[in-house]
Amino acid sequence: MSEYRLNAYHIMWIFVFFDLPTETKKNRKDAAKFRKELERDGFTMMQFSVYVRHCPSKENMDVHIKRVQISMPPAGQVSIMSITDKQYGNILNFQGKVQKELQAGPRQLELF
């Protein structure tokens, strides 16, 4: 069995982008419930309709993607994108025209 070490190519990030209807009271309730489920599952809000979550492995990422799929509301558009930690490190964030430092991911403890 080959040794599997955590590195920037094995650690994953999940992005959930969504555009949900809010015309009716039920739509607003469904949208709020979806956001709360994302937060309950460890996602953090990057922008109002963009949530992100760190995953230590692809297998762990698959579990969280299934949870997102289960909690999707009946109406609206939801997109899920996964990227490696290495790719995540290349994101440029700006507040106005000022570049903002990228939020650091969780620190990993590696046991061997």
Q: Could you tell me the domains of the chain? A: 12-100 (3.30.70.240)
What average pLDDT does this structure show over 20-32?
A: 97
| Prediction pTM value | 0.83
Which residues touch 66 (CB under 8 Å, ≥6 apart)?
A: none
pLDDT at 91 > cutoff 60: yes
Cβ atoms of 65 and 23 closer than 8 Å: no
Distance in angstroms (rounded) separating the CA atoms of residues 110 and 112 = 7
Least confident of 4-8, 13-17, 51-55: 4-8
